[in-house]
């Protein structure tokens, strides 16, 4: 696996950026998350006043537990989603177009063959992960190959000048892998993370079987690659590699649901400092996602009540990042607007009329 050397944020640029934010013609600290995002962008790009960044979107596709009893479609549903995305007329594409962000679709582990579909890049490492209740989801070699697929795409997007990227996923039963990865990384009680859905198993049965599976593989946060190979999936592995290499390139990464969140969890275990480069766009009403946010200490920006995958939540997050930079660059400071600064309250020590 690559080294993934991730540098620290520039505190000097962040401090200078925060000083400008504090002197914008508004009550100090009143724009909350927008202020934090702008300051973080300054630290990532090592620029006191970042502006006009180039955005991009990448979606990795892979199916989970293709040899399990829950696979009733043979990958047809995820194939239909990818075909629709390949037309370029999805909601994700509509959001991305407003920000002039290219959208890339990468098949790293779908059960179906996508090699003949225009608009989809086939980089298949495995035709879907195996059901981890019977055997490890992937071999160590397949896991590292999928990580490398993600890293290569981070290299490519960086070479194209993309600075902020939204990551997404497509895949059948993807939440199953996200659940197992999250339970292994956080070590939260499985019952706290189990999702009530249309699975034929009861909640008690799911808790019992997943707990037994984690114990059988002896999974722990100290062995993130083993977690990924045992209960992960090709798409989560590719997302993990992408996040790591994008952070190494000092790119900002916006993620959304529990599947992309599982990749962030693994990336955070593999390399320190990676979470400084990631931004959580959407809050989701499921315990897996909520457990991830608690473990990472991250608060999502907005609640869309999405049930769709396809990177839509992440693409929407690009708009929030864009808004934070407009705030930073389009608003005037007290000095620029020749407005009197605060004479009392919390702003009187930070606002100096510059």
Question: pLDDT tens-digit profile of 28-41?
Answer: 889 999 999 999 99
Are residues 128 and 62 in contact, defined by beta-carbon separation less than 8 angstroms? yes
Architecture of domain 53-319: 3-Layer(aba) Sandwich (3.40)
Residue 52 zone, left/alpha/beta (φ > 0; ψ -120 to 50; rest): left
| SS3 call for 199 | coil
* Tens of pLDDT, residues 222-265: 999 999 999 999 999 999 999 999 999 999 999 999 999 999 99
* Tens of pLDDT, residues 28-81: 889 999 999 999 999 999 999 999 999 999 999 999 999 998 898 999 999 999
The total number of residues shown for the chain amounts to 354
Domain locations in the chain? 53-319
What are the structure tokens assigned to 123, written together? 């980089």
* Beta partners for residue 121, in sequence order: 106
């Amino acid at each position: 696996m690559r080294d993934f050397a991730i540098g620290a944020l520039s505190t000097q640029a962040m401090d200078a950026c925060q000083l400008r934010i504090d002197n914008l013609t508004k009550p100090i600290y009143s724009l909350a998350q927008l202020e934090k995002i702008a300051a973080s962008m300054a630290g990532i790009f090592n620029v006191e006043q970042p502006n006009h960044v180039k955005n991009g979107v990448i979606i990795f596709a892979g199916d989970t537990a293709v040899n399990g009893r829950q696979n009733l479609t043979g990958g047809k549903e995820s194939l239909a989603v990818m075909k629709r995305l390949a037309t370029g007329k999805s909601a994700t594409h509509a959001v991305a177009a407003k920000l002039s962000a290219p959208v890339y679709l990468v098949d790293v582990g779908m059960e179906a063959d996508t090699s003949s579909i225009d608009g989809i890049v086939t980089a298949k490492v495995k035709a879907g992960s195996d059901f981890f209740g019977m055997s490890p989801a992937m071999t160590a070699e397949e896991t590292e190959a999928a990580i490398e697929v993600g890293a290569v795409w981070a290299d490519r997007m960086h070479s194209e000048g993309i600075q902020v990227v939204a990551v997404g996923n497509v895949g059948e039963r993807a939440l199953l892998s996200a659940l197992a990865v999250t339970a292994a990384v956080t070590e939260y009680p499985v019952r706290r993370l189990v999702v009530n859905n249309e699975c034929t198993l009861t909640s008690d049965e799911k808790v019992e079987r997943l707990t037994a599976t984690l114990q059988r593989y002896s999974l722990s946060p100290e062995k993130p690659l083993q977690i990924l190979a045992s209960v992960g999936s090709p798409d989560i592995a590719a997302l993990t590699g992408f996040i790591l290499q994008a952070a190494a390139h000092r790119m900002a990464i916006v993620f959304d649901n529990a599947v992309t969140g599982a990749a962030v969890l693994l990336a955070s275990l593999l390399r320190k400092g990676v979470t400084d480069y990631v931004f959580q766009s959407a809050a989701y009403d499921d315990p897996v996602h909520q457990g991830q946010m608690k473990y990472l200490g991250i608060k999502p920006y907005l609640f869309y009540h999405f049930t769709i995958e396809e990177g839509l939540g992440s693409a929407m997050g690009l708009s929030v990042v864009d808004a934070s930079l407009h705030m930073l660059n389009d608003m005037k400071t007290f000095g620029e607007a020749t407005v009197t600064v605060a004479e009392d309250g919390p702003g009187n020590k930070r606002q100096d009329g510059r």
